[in-house]
Structure 1
Amino acid sequence: MDLLKELGPLLSAEAAAEAPLAGMDPADLEQAVWVRLLERDRQGPAPAEPARWLRRAVRAEARVARRRAQREVPYAGPAGCADEASEHGPEGEVLHREQDRAVRSAVARLPGRCPELMTAFLSPRDLTYREIAGELGISQGSLGPVRSRCLGCLRRMLAAEVEAPGLRGRER
């Protein structure tokens, strides 16, 4: 209990400093750190340098919250109930352009013929398989397998750039 009294003010100050950047309430951040300390207590003795451990724990919990916020997608509700202002407003347009830029940048870094093939599939002209095969000089029958390999490569490339979420629940 002495540890609680000793670290309480420091934790409050650290949480108040880190919480806004993590997009969370300082009290929630404090609670997450206390839980982390209790879990650590069950595993072994208290940290040798409690103040240093606490600062690191606050920053780690804030990082977790930021990553979670980046991965989470708000639920739009039943079809037709989504807020149209957020979809078609300036923010939605900027997000759409940023996603488009990121995908096109990754496509340009693909090996072999993948960049030109994927660019043809992403074309606003909405080309058919026959038109794409004619433009690229590839047989129409091989477009599917080549496209599949290119998409696999793109998936691996993007997975290396974006950390996959950790396992939860019974998956361990």
Structure 2
Amino acid sequence: MWLRLLERLEAGGPPSDPPDWLRRAVRTEARRARRTARRETAPAGDPADTGGHDPERLALAAARRRALRDAVRRLPGRCPRLLEALLSPRDPTYREIAGELGISQGSLGPERSRCLGCLRRLLTQEVAARGGRG
């Protein structure tokens, strides 16, 4: 961040609101790092090498993801939309999510917490119903 600030000072002078500039710069850099991490993949090795991921393990992981998506869809109220927005690959800000859902930005954290609690209870019940398997 300090390097970015020095570049900014050389290019156009000091920012008009340094604390605000720093917050925006850190947020932008964090988003850039997340996008880069998502795009990076391990170099391809031997095509026959599954990297320790046997087909059964891959199938089980896919089934867990499918079960999680199904559970999120069954959540009450705006929970499915909220969790979908929070996990969106476009990485929206709390302000953008609040605007999409028509709620205040300050209520997103408590709402998210309630939704995750509902999801936890739902999944716990499902695991218990299956006898603890999976």
Corresponding residue for residue 79 of structure 1: none
Corresponding residue for residue 111 of structure 2: 146
Q: Which amino acid aligns with 1:131?
A: E
- The reply to whether residue 98 of structure 1 matches residue 55 of structure 2 is no
Deviation per residue, 1:120-156 (Å, 9 max, x gap): 1222222221221121111111000000001111111
Structure 2: distance between partners of 1:141 and 1:112? 18
Structure 1 residues 96 and 127: alpha-carbon distance in aligned structure 2, compared to 1, 3 A threshold: farther
Which of 103, 109, 126 is the matching residue for 2:74?
Answer: 109
Deviation per residue, 1:66-111 (Å, 9 max, x gap): xxxxxxxxxxxxxxxxxx7124x64454333222211110011011
Q: Which amino acid aligns with 1:103?
A: L
- The reply to whether residue 86 of structure 1 matches residue 86 of structure 2 is no
Tell me the matched-pair count. 82
Structure 1 residues 130 and 107: alpha-carbon distance in aligned structure 2, compared to 1, 3 A threshold: same
Q: Which amino acid aligns with 1:116?
A: R
Deviation per residue, 1:7-45 (Å, 9 max, x gap): xxxxxxxxxxxxxxxxxxxxxxxxxxxxxxxxxxxxxxx
Give the fraction of aligned pairs with identical amino acids, expressed as a percent. 65
Corresponding residue for residue 90 of structure 2: 125
Which of 113, 116, 126 is the matching residue for 1:161?
Answer: 126
Counterparts of 1:56-67 in structure 2, within 5 Å, are none
The answer (yes or no) to whether the contact 1:108–1:115 under 8 Å persists in 2 is yes
Give SS of 2:116's match: helix
* TM-score normalised by length of structure 1: 0.41
Structure 2 residue runs of 5 or longer lacking an equivalent are: 1-49
* TM-score normalised by length of structure 2: 0.52
Structure 1 residues 96 and 131: alpha-carbon distance in aligned structure 2, compared to 1, 3 A threshold: farther
Structure 2: distance between partners of 1:148 and 1:125? 21
Q: Say which one has the larger Rg.
A: 1
